[in-house]
Amino acid sequence: MRRRSPAPHRPARPTRAALALVVGLLVAAPLLAGCGAARNESTDSGWFTGGGEAPSVVDPGAPDGEGGGSGGDGDLGEQGGDRERIVTGSLYVTVDEPLAAADEATRIVERAGGRVDGRREYAASGRASGDGDSGAPAIYDENGQYLGSFPGGGAVLELRIPSERLSGVIDDLEALGEPEELVLSTDDVTVAVRDLEARISALRASVERLLALQSQAADLDDLLALESAISDRQAELESLEAQQRYYADQVSLSTITLTLGSQEVAPVDEPNSFLTGLATGWDALLAFLGGALVALGVLLPWLLPLGLLALVVLLVLRARRRRRAARDAATEVAGGAAPTTPVPTPEVSR
């Protein structure tokens, strides 16, 4: 009896279900990796356990190492260690010539490697420089935030300053005139940046694996499924890379809103001595006299016709009084011409 030899073993061809399972795992891998990276980063940085640094307000007058969100002994915008921080703030400076000071502020920022993202100038009349429409004395930005009133002219600049040179640039800007107010704040975005890096790395690896599978796919349905998955992964990857570029720009360049006001709207210093009190009283007297003269100038055109009308009324009343007095005198004269018989007074005997 002849026995049949076993058939040669043929490698099994991957089924469609197995290929779909592999594609699904590759698609889900970036999401799992991103979530895990975010969880690990949060735990390591102490963000949720109270050990991290929350966004805070920087006190420019505090000594090194005390207060402020930037911390350390370096520049206000210097990134300490591996932390990623976004610094924003505002600065108000009183200057003699706001428009000339705006030009100098632009040169200071550009020399430091920064740029001016927005600039609004207002002439002394309250009209926006270069704008045909009259501007209101009270100025607001596009978000409705009050920027100030510029009866003597002013300028508002949106400055992007390199974070590592922020302190020096602020000192140069304050030297343009008399600094009135400086507000700085920091926002720690380390967790968001690290999460983006992890998700981008996982997505790039996922796209590479999907491209390798696409080169090996022989079935049309599998090829279409892989192309759809690759397209979705690449779109998400481009979106995350755009967010990463935004954070990199915000961290590397601090955003400072510089307001330059004239002496007409400068805050008045309260008196703290006899001489300053005397000067304040003298200024108040001059301001009162100036206001009184302005009020007189406004009322004078009304007082002249009212005075003439009062004079005419007075003359009419005086003429009527004279005529009445003359008529009464004539009546008395006419009554005095008639003879009168005196009545004898009887004598009383004692």
Each of the 350 residues of the chain gets a pLDDT tens digit; together they read 444 444 444 444 445 555 555 556 555 555 544 444 444 333 333 333 333 333 333 443 343 433 334 333 444 555 555 789 999 999 999 998 888 999 999 999 999 999 999 999 887 754 444 443 434 445 555 555 555 555 667 899 999 999 999 999 999 999 999 998 999 999 999 999 999 999 999 999 999 999 888 888 888 888 899 889 999 999 999 999 999 999 999 999 999 999 998 877 666 667 777 887 888 888 888 989 988 999 888 888 888 888 889 989 999 998 888 888 888 888 877 766 555 555 555 555 54
Q: Within 13 A of 261's CA, how many CA atoms are on the CB side?
A: 23
Measured distance CA(239)–CA(161) in Å, rounded = 26
Token digits for 301?
């055109």
Token digits for 150?
């510029």
- Closest to 64 (Cα-Cα) out of 52, 53, 80, 76: 76
Coil, helix or strand for 253? strand
Where residue 96 falls (left for φ over 0; alpha for ψ -120 to 50; beta otherwise) is alpha
Specify the pLDDT at position 236: 93
Token digits for 208?
């590479």
Specify the pLDDT at position 84: 92
Specify the pLDDT at position 276: 78
Measured distance CA(335)–CA(329) in Å, rounded = 10
- The C-alpha R_g of the chain, in whole angstroms, comes to 44
Specify the pLDDT at position 304: 85
